[in-house]
Amino acid sequence: MDFTYNEILNLEHLNNFEPVEVVNLLAIIFETGRETGSEKDINFGLNLSEKQNLEGFSDENKMTFHYNVANGWSYLQQLTQNFNSDEFWSFDLRESEQQIINLRLALSFSKNSRNNQQKCEILTNLGILFSHLGRFSEAQLYWQRAIKIDSTFSMALGNIGFSLFHYSKILYDSGHQLLFLKLAYKYLNKAINTDIYEEANAAFKNIISILESIIDIEKLSDIQNLKTFSIGDSKAEQEYRTWCLKNHLFLNPLNDVITDNIAGHDCLLLPTITLKFDKPPIYQTIFNQIKQEFVSARHLLFEGLTQKQTHYSDKDNIQLDTLDYAVYSYSSEKIKTTFRLCYSILDKIGYLMNDYLDLEHKPEKVSFRGIWSFYDKSTRTVKINNKIIDTQNWAFKGLYWLSKDLYEKNEEFSHSIEPEAKKLAQIRNFIEHKSFKIVEFVESGLFDNELTFVITRDEFEQKTLKLITLIRASMIYLSLGINLEEKKKVISNPVLPVDFIELRDEFKR
């Protein structure tokens, strides 16, 4: 392959080239377009990528292809938008959508790759994008995955610290805030002591300077032993809580960034909310229900994944062996129940948000995917509700972008930024209403004249774990988003404070 840059720009498509040549040509177009500030060239490269047939591409080539395309969309966004402008606060950004889709596809094809550098770049870029879009909890998990691959990966280290600094500002727990700032300081200092490009180094050093100006350096560097906290009295409870910590499943912002015992409890609540005198504490009531359902679903998943011995309730339950390696058991039903509960929790979050922001959807028609928009009769189009946009709320923006991970049949909600969204919705539908079968072997998909959805046990377990992680993040965004809104309220009339005490564990029967 020997082309001048102008000759490359005259190509109609790249389908006659070898996969390695395709990814290299796209990289040349996108990097040159970025360096010269040419929107035209970058759009040309993106147009070529849309025409590309990936048949015959290895997973390694697909990973690099989608990584390059994501970069193309990122460069276009940098040339056309200012991240600090009002435009960036727009809740809909096509460039961001395309970056997420392509980075997620790149990540899905990176499973067996030995290119750790590119894997870390994919994870780090996803984290940066998620943080910008208000999905700051999930962003931390992407960066943590990157430094597990390479503990010295500077951009992941720096962005952990950078994001924790901003994340701390919306926490309502002062103890958590201080620990977040200490951890931010630790990660930022690690980052600036590595080989990192100048602009990022300056940004990270600026946050370090701010931290040192508000907190004594000695105190910033003094992080207590985070492991000397109880995670239960019995061995069974300790094993369960250790599993929750390792999978970042506690309703506790600390568990985004650490897996030490101090994060091993579900302390997330709604903040203090100011209501009209005649309004009951309905939001705390709904959140109590949501939280209990999540904690119960999480434990069901733990049992379903770890306790696979025959349960006494399965004994003498006569069933026929249909020679298809199907799994019928109490433990598998626990995982299916978890999957169903996760979707139920999302709709309850939508139900709470609809009332809190007065979005005016009829309660019986509320869904988590649908609360954000309304049908404009004058233009006959679906638009985002201005009440949401006007909040300029980082966490609510995150909830909105999280909703884009979901798929619904309605045309306006059929577009998703999660490549697996349609399959997850299909699984939910078959579990709830049709024939759904978990098997030990065989590829997933529709069988028996499309009457049955078949999925391997391993795949279903991974999808359910991924889904419950999404639910946890949505609950964090809900709580902290409401905290941001409550801070904005100007109270001019007398307020009667009402204190609620914690419900004692012995009453939870």
pLDDT in tens, 208-254: 999 999 999 999 999 989 998 999 999 999 999 999 999 999 999 99
Share of the chain above pLDDT 70, in %: 92
Position 506 scores a pLDDT of 60
Q: Mean pLDDT check: name the lowest of 51-60, 94-103, 177-186, 377-386.
A: 377-386
DSSP code per residue over 304-333:
HHH--SPPGGGTT------SS-B--SHHHH
- Comparing 300 with 408, the larger pLDDT belongs to 300
Structure tokens at 6: 């102008």
SS3 category, 173: coil
- Provide the pLDDT confidence category of residue 88 given band limits of 50, 70 and 90: low
Strand locations in 144-286 (E): none
Q: Residue 329: what pLDDT?
A: 87
End-to-end CA distance of the chain: 71
Write out the DSSP string of 69-132.
HHHHHHHHHHHH--TTSGGGG-S--HHHHHHHHHHHHHHHTTTT---HHHHHHHHHHHHHHHHH
Residue 414 pLDDT greater than 60, yes or no = no
The residue-averaged pLDDT of 146-166 equals 97
In this predicted structure, what is the pLDDT of residue 504?
Answer: 67
**pTM for this prediction:** 0.93
Do 219 and 254 contact (CB within 8 A), yes or no?
Answer: no
Q: Convert the pLDDT of each residue in 276-312 to its tens digit.
A: 766 778 899 999 999 999 999 999 999 999 987 888 8
Mean predicted confidence (pLDDT) in 390-403: 94
Binned at pLDDT 50, 70 and 90, residue 499 comes out as low
Q: Would you say 301 and 468 are in contact if contact means Cβ atoms under 8 Å apart?
A: yes
- Check whether 85 has a pLDDT greater than 80: no
Whole-number pLDDT of residue 485: 93
Q: What is the pLDDT of residues 172-199, one digit of tens each?
A: 999 999 999 999 999 999 999 888 889 9
- Local confidence band at 503 (pLDDT 50, 70, 90 cut-offs): low
Domain-by-domain residue ranges, the chain?
A: 1-114, 143-223, 335-479
- Amino acid identity of residue 422, one-letter, is K
